[in-house]
Copies of this chain bind each other. A is one copy, B any other.
Amino acid sequence: MEPTAKPARSTPKAETTRSRILAAALNLFRERGFDQTTMRDIASAAEVAIGAAYYYFESKEALVMAFYQEANAAMHERIQAALDRKTDLKARLRAVVDVKFEYFAPNRKFLGALLRHAADPEHPLSPFSRETREIRERDMLHFSEALDGSNLRLPEDLRPHLPKLLWLSQMGLILFWIYDRSENQARTERLVDKSLGIVASLLKLSKSPFLRPVRRTAIELLQALE
C-alpha cells in the first residue's frame, strides 16, 4: 500500500484525473516553487475542484511524495546500469548518488518540501516513518548492491549495518544539495567526493587490528540507531 495514494480500486478515468492533478502540481512547483503554489492553483490548472485534489492526495506535500515514489522506482534500472562493470567501491557509491542527483535535478528546489517533517518519524511523510518503510528499504538495497559488487572485502560484523549507514549519509548529502546555493551546486560536488572518499578509506582500513576498538564502538552506535 502506497503512503500517498488513497483510492484502493481505481478506474482508468480516475487514474487519468489523478495524474492530471499530479502533473499540474509538479509543473507549478517547478515553475514557481512549492510554497508559492496554492492548492487552488493546482486544482484550477488540472481543471478540477479543490476537493478532487484531496480525493487523490492526502495533502499538498503528498503530491511531492508521489513524485518521489515514482522517481525511486524509475531510478532503479538506471542505477543497475550505472553499477555495471564498476569494481571500485568509491566509484560504485558515486554511481548510485549520481543517478539520483541527475534525476532529481530539475525538481531540486521543491524537494525540500518533503524534508520538512523529515525529523519526525511519526509523520507519515518522514523518510523514517512506518509509512515510507518500503521505499526506504528498496532504496537501501541499492547500497547493498554497490557494496557487494565491489572488489573490497568488508569486515563481516560491519557489513549488515552498512546499507543503513550509507543510506543515511545519502539523505544528508541530498539535504545539503537541495539547499546548496553555490553555482552548479559545486559545494555539494566537493562534499560528495570527500565524504565518499572517507567512507571508502575507512572501510579499507577498518579490517586493521589498529582500528578494532573503534569499529566495535561504531557497531554499537549503529545498533543504538535501531
Contact = CB atoms under 8 A, between A and B. Distances in A.
Interface of A: 112, 115-122, 175, 178-179, 187, 190-191, 194-195, 197-198, 201-202, 205, 208, 210-211, 213-214, 217-218, 220-221, 224-226
Contact of A214 (B116, B187, B198): B198
Contacts of A198: 214, 217-218, 221
Contact of A194 (B121, B187, B221): B221
Nearest to A123: B179
Given A191-B221, A198-B218, A210-B210, 5 more contacts: A112-B120, A190-B220, A190-B224, A191-B224, A197-B221
Contacts of A221: 191, 194-195, 197-198
Main secondary structure of the interface of A (DSSP, over half): helix
Contacts of A214: 198, 201-202, 205
Given A201-B213, A213-B201, A179 B120 contact: yes
A217 B201 contact: yes
Contacts of A208: 210
Contacts of A226: 187
Question: How many copies, total?
Answer: 2
* Best-surrounded residue of A195, A210, A217, A225 (most CB of chain B within 10 A): A217
Contacts of A117: 116
Contact of A191 (B191, B202, B225): B225
A19 B198 CA distance: 48
Contacts of A118: 119
A30 B80 CA distance: 49
5 contacts: A115-B119, A120-B179, A187-B224, A201-B214, A205-B211
Given A119-B178, A210-B210, A220 B202 contact: no
| Across the A-B interface, the 5 shortest Cβ-Cβ residue pairs | A194-B221, A190-B224, A191-B224, A201-B214, A197-B217
